[in-house]
Amino acid sequence: MPLDAHEVVTKFAPALARIAASYERDPALRDELLQEILMAVVSSLPRLKDPDRLKPFLFRIAHNRCLTHVTQRIRERASQEPLDDLAVETAGQDQALIERERGQRLLEAIRRLALPYRQVMTLILEDMSYEEIAEALAISVANVGIRVNRAKQQLKVLLKHE
């Protein structure tokens, strides 16, 4: 039975928004990018043959659309802000704020990863298996494993995690 496009985009929009955020810092451009991803999903969905492969299908579209966005917007991208700017004092803040702060720090760190590592890491964080990531990015499972390990090492440095 064909999948309902409205249901699919409603269910996966938050995850696709996180992928868009890993490529675009500007909130207005990020919303625009998410809208383009959702439109690409709606127009591509009839071509999905196996509904069990929905996640790799959606995330491949999202990463492909984001990659094109990056190459087109490259000249407009502002220089990277230092990560330390986000390292504000968190003592005394409520739990939600601290969580939001951690999420924001992680997003900044992800944006600093080189493209191959950023792609696998965002998919790992969306709870995808190595096989699904390999399918989404058209690379081997072994390559996914190597990229994840390298991305993890870089993230540990960026987040000063020991």
Partner 1 sequence: MNDDFLLRLQADWQSQDNDADKVLRRLRRNRWTPHIVLGAEILVCALAFMVGLWFAWIAMHDAQHRLLFALSAAVLLLVAPALCVAGVMARRPSLAWDVETPESLLEVGIRRAESSLRAIRIGRWHVAIIAAFVITLWMAEALGFIHAIDFLILYTTVSLVVSVASWLWMRWRENGVRSEHAACVRLLAALQVDNGIDS
Give the residues lining the site for partner 1 (CB under 8 A).
9-10, 13-14, 16-18, 21, 27, 30-31, 34-35, 38-40, 43-44, 47-48, 57, 60-61, 63-65, 67-68, 70-72, 74-75, 99-100, 102-107, 114-116, 119, 124-127, 137-140, 142-143, 146-147, 152, 155-156, 161
Q: Between 25 and 143, name the residue whose CB sits nearer to partner 1.
A: 143
Closest CB 91 distance from partner 1, rounded Å = 18
Tokens 């439109």 -> residue: 39
Is residue 123 within 8 Å of residue 108, measured between CB atoms?
A: no
How far is 65 from 88, CA to CA, in rounded Å?
A: 33
Closest CB 84 distance from partner 1, rounded Å = 18
Q: Which two tokens stand for residue 55?
A: 């996640």
Closest CB 34 distance from partner 1, rounded Å = 5
Q: Between 13 and 83, name the residue whose CB sits nearer to partner 1.
A: 13
For residue 158, count CB atoms less than 10 angstroms from its CB and return exposed for 0-12, middle for 13-18, buried for 19 or more.
middle
Q: Between 83 and 106, name the residue whose CB sits nearer to partner 1.
A: 106
Count, residues in the chain: 162
Q: What is the dihedral of CA 30, 32, 35, 37, to 10 degrees?
A: -60
- For the chain, what is the radius of gyration of the CA atoms? 17
Closest CB 1 distance from partner 1, rounded Å = 19
Q: Between 72 and 85, name the residue whose CB sits nearer to partner 1.
A: 72
